[in-house]
Chain A
Amino acid sequence: DQQVKQNSPSLSVQEGRISILNCDYTNSMFDYFLWYKKYPAEGPTFLISISSIKDKNEDGRFTVFLNKSAKHLSLHIVPSQPGDSAVYFCAARGRNKLVFGAGTILRVKS
């Protein structure tokens, strides 16, 4: 029972363009959403988050959008840089536990 789904296993984007990573969830009780970035052989690092009472949060090149009615969130990276190439995990919090999606591999081509 996957409560958090990232349906695109991978995404390839040209340097300088926008990267859009998507995430869908099924549990309406989730109250907080996070994005983590992971390089090979390293642990994930926190990138950006959003509370369920908001619909947008921005931090530099990274913006997270939340559509509660659609149970969908997305991460926008503008402009994309080669160093952004990594695996991106979406996570949702419920009952003080985080549920993670399977991740999306982002490749930014120079």
Chain B
Amino acid sequence: DGGITQSPKYLFRKEGQNVTLSCEQNLNHDAMYWYRQDPGQGLRLIYYSHIVNDFQKGDIAEGYSVSREKKESFPLTVTSAQKNPTAFYLCASSRAPGSYNSPLHFGNGTRLTVT
């Protein structure tokens, strides 16, 4: 059945290393998103993509990069420039960004710990 797969579930990295989080969807959705969740805060948008080979910065894009070479895949790279990378990262997709009947479908998240 269709869904969004994020891997790995837990990731540990040393400070100063770049790390890439995987997100794959088989829902045939056009739009994909990366959010970050921190304790006591809502989900904050990092990057989003409404179509292949195009993506836009969200509210907290600094220190992150993405690519959208395939419709199904939207990997997120957390670079060493990100000041506070330790967080729970959520990937989501939707059928069409402007549609009323197109809520976000989320993956189960990746918890990244940087020490």
Contacts and interface: CB of A to CB of B under 8 A. Distances in A.
B58 interface: yes
Contact of A97 (B45, B100, B109): B45
A42 B40 contact: no
A102 B43 CA distance: 7
A75 to B, nearest CB: 15
Interface string A16-58: 0000000000000000101010000111111001010000000
A43 B108 contact: yes
A98 interface: yes
Nearest to B43: A100
Interface residues of B, number: 26
Contact of B40 (A45, A98, A102): A102
B2 interface: no
A73 to B, nearest CB: 15
Given A46-B103, A49-B103, A96-B98, A41 B109 contact: yes
Tell me what chain A mostly uses at the interface: helix, strand, loop, or mixed.
strand
Q: Give the residue among A2, A6, A42, A43 with the most B Cβ atoms within 10 A.
A: A43
Given A9-B40, A51-B100, A103-B42, A97 B48 contact: yes
Nearest to B35: A100
Interface of B: 4, 6, 9, 35, 40-45, 48, 50, 58, 90, 92, 97-98, 100, 103-109, 111
30 contacts: A4-B42, A6-B42, A9-B40, A32-B100, A36-B104, A36-B106, A41-B108, A41-B109, A41-B111, A43-B4, A43-B6, A43-B106, A43-B107, A43-B108, A44-B43, A45-B106, A46-B103, A46-B105, A49-B100, A51-B100, A89-B43, A91-B43, A96-B98, A97-B45, A98-B104, A100-B43, A101-B42, A102-B40, A102-B41, A102-B42
